[in-house]
A = this chain, B = another copy of it.
Amino acid sequence: MGNYKLVLAYEGTNYHGFQRQPHLPTVQGELEEALERVASPTSPLYAAGRTDAGVHAKGQVVNFHGTLRLEPAALPRALNALLPPDIVVVSCQEMEEGFHARRSAQSREYAYYFHVGGSPSPFYRRYTFHVDGELDLRSMEEALQIIIGEHDFASFCRHEEGKSTVRKVMAAGLERRGELLAVRVRANAFAWMMMRMLCGSLLEVGRGKWSPERFRAVMAARDNAGCAPALPPQGLFLEKVTY
């Protein structure tokens, strides 16, 4: 009996999100099915981030208790042979009994990728949101600074009954590489739809339709009625979870 941590990468395009749902393809469903052939789990699978339908992950973390039929180091290759090619187990490690992928996580890092270029690209279309014309990066940076710290993100999320919308953002910034622009945010946790709604409003700033001050006012209102439309899932990646 042990407690095992897996790091996963997956393309979310063909899944109805991470979390298992009856009769629908999910990352958890595929992973649990493969796991049963190489391990005997005695607990559910706990995940650091509950990625929505179409959202990708480079560094999702899950854990489960149980026994393995192989050495931990041999598990990734065995699982990858059983899993569809859009889900990859990067590593497997035995952890102390108390480790919990969700509750032990200190921060999550998500990135939303824009493709800023004249023509949409057949290669980026599954992994980015295409923006026609240039963006005002300086104003976007200015707006991003506003979210750093502990804030109520009620304006930039879908509310879940009885759940707080206060989160602590440790870092937020832009990264430009050629035609790709990433909005990278690290926080203790993310409210539901937070990145896609934040980035939708940030895009209005980038396009010059909103000033950073309007962004600040929308955030201060703590009401998502003022938020710009959420961006589609394919630009969003769960990049990394830190413990």
Contacts and interface: CB of A to CB of B under 8 A. Distances in A.
Contacts of A119: 9, 76, 80, 88-90
Counted per complex, copies of this chain come to 2
A208 interface: no
Contacts of A98: none
A87 interface: yes
B11 A88 contact: no
Q: How large is the interface on A (under 10, 10 to 19, 20 to 34, 35 or more residues)?
A: 20 to 34
A162 to B, nearest CB: 35
A22 interface: no
Contact of A122 (B85, B118, B123): B85
B85 A123 contact: no
A36 interface: no
A33 to B, nearest CB: 17
20 contacts: A9-B119, A9-B122, A9-B123, A10-B122, A11-B122, A11-B123, A56-B122, A56-B123, A80-B119, A80-B120, A85-B120, A85-B122, A85-B125, A86-B122, A87-B122, A88-B119, A88-B120, A88-B122, A89-B119, A90-B119
